[in-house]
Chain A
Amino acid sequence: MADTVTEYTIPELTPELQRGPVWLRDRRRAAREAFNALPLPRRGLHLWRYTDPSRFVIPPGADAGELNGDFAKVADLERRHLADGRLAGVVTDRGGREISRVGLDEAAGLGVVATALSDAVDSHFELVERYLYQLVNSETGKFEAMNGALWNDGIFVYVPDGVTLEKPVHLLRAAGGAGTAQYPRLLVVVGRNAGLTLIDEYGGGSYDVAAGQAYVNAAVEIFGDDDSRVRYVALQRQAPATASYLTHRARIGRGASMLTIPLVFGGLLSKQNFGVVLNGRGAESKMYGLLFGSGYQHLDNHTLHHHAASQTRSNIDFKVVLRDRALSAYTGLIRIDRHAKTCEAYQENRNLLLNKGTRAETIPELEILNEDVMCTHGATLGPIDPLQLFYLRSRGVPENDAVRMVVSGFVTSTLKEVPDDLRERISDFVSSRLEGL
């Protein structure tokens, strides 16, 4: 085996992590015990076929450490967007030490809450006690239990019944530098017939592989009540020597709609798991993912659409672009329960490999227990069609520009779904990744 830590147990929780109400202390302790009792997932098991689990065992002693300040630029940009009226507010989580808020006055007037999770444990204890750990907990897995025990802080967002926040709320999460570990958590509760757009951006981390990696283990829980409309964008743009593990689960009720947009660009090793449970008749979920890997990035992503009610619809379009020696493994599961009739589900994973040396794996999975459903999936994998390049070159477009044009076209349908204030930055990310081709 490689020289990595595999036998790590979480020691007794620090007094800081034992603060708060009794129920929270009990859940943290239970999560700690579950982590210590659960074995490390065996390499080769479902969802661990392409990634070594030991790479996510955070070395003992690593703490938040120094946070790097690459959020300053983004925060400035977001302040401008706030001034332009393109955002409802910005919440910045500096490694759990400090959670600052900008804007949100108008939202607060509507009863919308966006605050530190540690504060919400007191101020909105009924909601937090009811929902926290419901979807991401030690039954989800060992690393989810780790976050459950160690989350140092996070963000709580609540939109009351009947309130629609037209403009997005932008969450910025900073990771620490080399040798540090971070456990952010997000809890979102959207009321009946309410609407929310949330941009959840993960940045920072370690820039120097030689100095050591930074680790981030994040958990996201989103609850959308009946007839709610939620758009959730997860942007992972962490520094190139960062190992990132994120588990996202959402549950939506009758007639609700959920749009999830995972955007994965950063980190050296990234394993992200996005899942939506369609829990009420007529619920609809769409996922539009975009991943761009370069260098030696190892990006392992999973999606889940769980149809737990009849007449629910889901659609996944997960796009991957790879260059250099990057690897992407995508596993997408559609599960339809026995009692869930007349559901519709579609899943598509398209992979564009820009050079030899890249690798993409795609594993569609269907667990369909009801006969009266419509369920399809598709996957493609390959280089840019030489005929497309030939066509562009025959019209005088240089080859490099032709490649950029084809990639831009490939990602356009996903970018259209991204909120305005973020679209330009994502487009710039894609352009910067294409430099030097």
Chain B
Amino acid sequence: MAGFVKVAQTGDIPVGQMRGFEIGPHRFVVVHTPDGFFAVVDECTHDSAPISDGRVRGNEVMCTRHGARFDLRNGAVTHPPAIVPLETLEVKVDSDDIMVLLD
């Protein structure tokens, strides 16, 4: 399973939306922003709420449980109460396929 894994096609996730995936032990969300596709672990670092239940604004995702916000490009916290960055996963788009790097 290690390596880039195809998870969806580009047309499956419109800009401003995201979709959660569970592949083996990995649970992550792929988000389509104006800057492209990003993938982060589907769990807020503050209180473990699913990021996939949150909202996307530009290149940020907001966890709706307590309002923590993260920059999807690098996982950095942009708004408390979270302190620890979100873990990001490498994404590449191969023709129309969205591929996510899983270890």
Residues of A within 8 A of B (CB): 1-4, 43-44, 49-50, 52, 55, 209-210, 241, 268, 295-296, 298, 325, 329, 361
Residue from A1, A209, A325, A329 within 8 A of B20 (CB atoms): A1
Residue from B21, B25, B27, B42 within 8 A of A295 (CB atoms): B25
Q: Does B47 sit at the interface, judged by CB under 8 A?
A: yes
Do A1 and B52 have beta carbons less than 8 Å apart?
Answer: yes
In the complex, the chain A residue whose C-beta lies closest to that of B29 is A2
Do B65 and A44 have beta carbons less than 8 Å apart?
Answer: yes
Do A2 and B20 have beta carbons less than 8 Å apart?
Answer: yes
Q: A298 — which chain B residues lie within 8 A by C-beta?
A: 25
Minimum Cβ distance to chain B for residue A351 (Å): 16
6 residue pairs of the A-B complex, CB under 8 angstroms, read A43-B50, A44-B47, A52-B27, A209-B1, A241-B24, A268-B25
Residues of B within 8 A of A (CB): 1, 19-22, 24-27, 42, 47-50, 52-53, 65
* Apart from A2-B42, A43-B49, 4 more pairs, CB < 8 Å: A43-B50, A209-B24, A296-B24, A325-B25
Do A2 and B48 have beta carbons less than 8 Å apart?
Answer: no
Do B25 and A49 have beta carbons less than 8 Å apart?
Answer: no
Do B48 and A361 have beta carbons less than 8 Å apart?
Answer: yes
Do A50 and B25 have beta carbons less than 8 Å apart?
Answer: no
Give the A-B contact count at a CB cut-off of 8 A: 43
Minimum Cβ distance to chain B for residue A44 (Å): 6
Do A2 and B49 have beta carbons less than 8 Å apart?
Answer: no
Residue from A2, A44, A50, A241 within 8 A of B22 (CB atoms): A2
Given contacts A2-B20, A3-B20, A44-B65, contact A209 B49 (CB under 8 A): no
Minimum Cβ distance to chain A for residue B8 (Å): 10
Q: B24 — which chain A residues lie within 8 A by C-beta?
A: 209-210, 241, 296
What's the Cα separation between A3 and B1 when bound, in Å? 18
Residue from B19, B25, B53 within 8 A of A43 (CB atoms): B53
Minimum Cβ distance to chain B for residue A298 (Å): 8
Minimum Cβ distance to chain B for residue A92 (Å): 30
Do A4 and B22 have beta carbons less than 8 Å apart?
Answer: yes
What's the Cα separation between A4 and B42 when bound, in Å? 14
In the complex, the chain B residue whose C-beta lies closest to that of A209 is B24
| A interface, over-half SS | loop
What's the Cα separation between A377 and B54 when bound, in Å? 35
Q: B50 — which chain A residues lie within 8 A by C-beta?
A: 1-2, 43, 52
Give the residue among B22, B48, B52 with the most A Cβ atoms within 10 A. Answer: B48
Q: A295 — which chain B residues lie within 8 A by C-beta?
A: 25
Given contacts A1-B20, A3-B22, contact A50 B48 (CB under 8 A): yes
Do B53 and A49 have beta carbons less than 8 Å apart?
Answer: no
Given contacts A209-B25, A268-B25, contact A2 B52 (CB under 8 A): yes
In the complex, the chain A residue whose C-beta lies closest to that of B52 is A1
What's the Cα separation between A209 and B102 when bound, in Å? 13
Q: A3 — which chain B residues lie within 8 A by C-beta?
A: 19-22
Minimum Cβ distance to chain A for residue B77 (Å): 17
In the complex, the chain A residue whose C-beta lies closest to that of B47 is A49
Do A1 and B53 have beta carbons less than 8 Å apart?
Answer: yes
Minimum Cβ distance to chain B for residue A52 (Å): 7
What's the Cα separation between A209 and B20 when bound, in Å? 18
Given contacts A2-B20, A210-B1, contact A296 B53 (CB under 8 A): no
What's the Cα separation between A161 and B24 when bound, in Å? 49
Q: B19 — which chain A residues lie within 8 A by C-beta?
A: 3
In the complex, the chain B residue whose C-beta lies closest to that of A43 is B50
Q: A49 — which chain B residues lie within 8 A by C-beta?
A: 47-48
What's the Cα separation between A227 and B48 when bound, in Å? 43
What's the Cα separation between A1 and B19 when bound, in Å? 6
Q: B20 — which chain A residues lie within 8 A by C-beta?
A: 1-3
Q: A361 — which chain B residues lie within 8 A by C-beta?
A: 48
What's the Cα separation between A429 and B37 when bound, in Å? 42
Give the residue among B24, B25, B42, B47 with the most A Cβ atoms within 10 A. Answer: B25
What's the Cα separation between A44 and B44 when bound, in Å? 12
What's the Cα separation between A52 and B3 when bound, in Å? 26
Minimum Cβ distance to chain A for residue B18 (Å): 10
Q: A241 — which chain B residues lie within 8 A by C-beta?
A: 24
Minimum Cβ distance to chain A for residue B33 (Å): 19
What's the Cα separation between A50 and B21 when bound, in Å? 17
Q: B48 — which chain A residues lie within 8 A by C-beta?
A: 49-50, 329, 361
Q: A50 — which chain B residues lie within 8 A by C-beta?
A: 48
Q: A209 — which chain B residues lie within 8 A by C-beta?
A: 1, 24-25
Q: A296 — which chain B residues lie within 8 A by C-beta?
A: 24-26
Give the residue among A44, A49, A210 with the most B Cβ atoms within 10 A. Answer: A44
Minimum Cβ distance to chain B for residue A187 (Å): 34
Listed from nearest, the 4 A-B pairs whose CB atoms lie closest are A296-B25, A2-B20, A209-B24, A2-B22
Minimum Cβ distance to chain A for residue B95 (Å): 22
What's the Cα separation between A52 and B22 when bound, in Å? 11
